Copies of this chain bind each other. A is one copy, B any other.
Amino acid sequence: MSGRQGGRPTLEQVAARAGVGRGTVSRVINGSPRVSEQARRAVARAVAELGYVPNQAARALAGSRTDAIALVIPEAEARLFAEPYFLDLIRGVSAELADADRQLLLTLVRSEQERQRFEQYLAAQRVDGVLLASVHGDDPLPDRIRELGIPVVMNGRRSEAEPVPYVDTDNIGAGRAAVAHLVARGRDRIATVTGPLDMYVARARLGGYMAGLAEAGRIPDNSLVSAGDFTEEGGRRAMRGLLDRRPDLDAVFVASDVMAAGARGVLREAGRRVPHDVALVGVDDSPVARLMDPPLTSVRQPIEEMGRTMARMLLREIAGTPEEPRRRVLPTELVVRDSCRAVSGS
C-alpha cells in the first residue's frame, strides 16, 4: 500500500512530506494540543501515505520509557496452580495493557538465579513497571524493585501488613463463606485442609475458616485442621490424616480445588459418600470443580478482574498519579454445587 523504499519511514521523512518540522510531527504523533488543526491534518495524511510507525527503540532511548511492563511468575507456582489461574490472570493483565497500548513482557522465573537475572532486565530499563505474582512470605524481591525506583504491584500479599501495593482477593471472606454454608447445611464437624502456611493466602483462608466457626458459635478444634500444599497429592495426604484423627468429620473446607480433588479420591477409597457422609467445599471454581463427581461447591475468585486491576494500578503508578487505595481486596463468591447437599434426614 505504501512506499517502502529501503527501510521504514522516519519522523524526518514524514515531516518533509507534510511540509512541517520534525517537532511538529512528534507533537502530532504524541497528541500534544499545541498544534494547529492544519498542521495536524497535513501530518496525519503524510503518516497514512507513508505508513509511518514510530520506532519503539528510538522512542525508548530518547524518552526513557518503554511502554512495556513485566509480569513475573515463579515457574514452580505455574506448575502448581496448573489450573487456569495464571492464564486468567494473564488474560486480565493483557486486556488492560492492550487498551492502554502497552506491551506485556512475560517472565517465568525458574530459579533464584533467574530472579537475579531479572534484576538485570530491570536495570537495563526494559520495562516501565513490574507486576509480581505469587509472592511468598519472605520474598525480598518486591522491596528490591521498589528500591530501584521501579513501580510494582503484586498479586496477593506477603503478610497482613504489606507495604507494597497489591491486589488480593478476600481469602478470609472465602473461608467464612464456605464454613457458613456448611453450617447452614447442618454440618457439625467441619474440618479444613489448608495450603502451605508460609503463604499468606493459606493463612488467610484458614483464618476465615476459624472466623466462620466462631461466628456460628463453634469452637475450632486443631484435630480438624490439616496442612496441605496446594497439590493434589498434598490434598490426599492431608485428607488421610484428617480421617485418621477424626473419622467422625462430616464436612471439609479444602483451600483449593486441586487439593479437593485429591481429598475426594481419599474419601471415595475410605467409603465415604460425598455429599452424603462428607460435604466438600473447595476454592478457585476451576474446571476441575465442575468436572468432579459430584460437582464441587467452590469459592470463586475474580482472577481476571485481579489482573485488570493490577495492570490499571500499575499504569497509574507509572504515570505518577497513584490510585488510592494502593491495596485492594476483591470479593469472592460461593458457587454452590452438589458436593454439599444438606444432611439427609435432618
Contact = CB atoms under 8 A, between A and B. Distances in A.
Nearest to A8: B123
A94 to B, nearest CB: 4
B121 A103 contact: yes
Contact of A94 (B51, B95, B106, B288): B106
B98 A110 contact: yes
A193 interface: no
Contacts of A75: 91, 94
Interface string A42-60: 0000000001011111101
**A interface, how many residues as a size bin?**
35 or more
A287 interface: yes
A57 B61 contact: yes
A124 interface: yes
Contacts of A84: 82, 84, 87
Interface in A1-52: 8, 51
A108 interface: yes
A161 interface: no
Contacts of A78: 87, 91
A52 to B, nearest CB: 9
Number of copies: 2
A135 to B, nearest CB: 19
A108 B125 contact: no
Q: Find the residue from A95, A124, A261 having the highest chain B CB count within 10 A.
A: A124
A124 B82 contact: no
B291 A56 contact: no
A340 interface: no
B61 A66 contact: no
Q: Find the residue from A82, A84, A123, A291 having the highest chain B CB count within 10 A.
A: A291
Q: Which 8 A-B residue pairings sit nearest by Cβ, starting from the closest?
A: A57-B60, A53-B123, A57-B61, A94-B108, A106-B106, A56-B124, A56-B126, A53-B124
Interface of A: 8, 51, 53-58, 60-61, 64, 66, 68, 75, 78-79, 82-84, 86-87, 90-91, 94-95, 98, 103-108, 110, 114, 117, 120-121, 123-126, 261, 287-288, 291-293
Given A57-B61, A287-B288, 16 more contacts: A51-B123, A53-B124, A55-B61, A55-B125, A57-B58, A60-B60, A61-B61, A84-B87, A87-B87, A90-B106, A94-B107, A94-B108, A95-B110, A98-B108, A103-B105, A104-B105
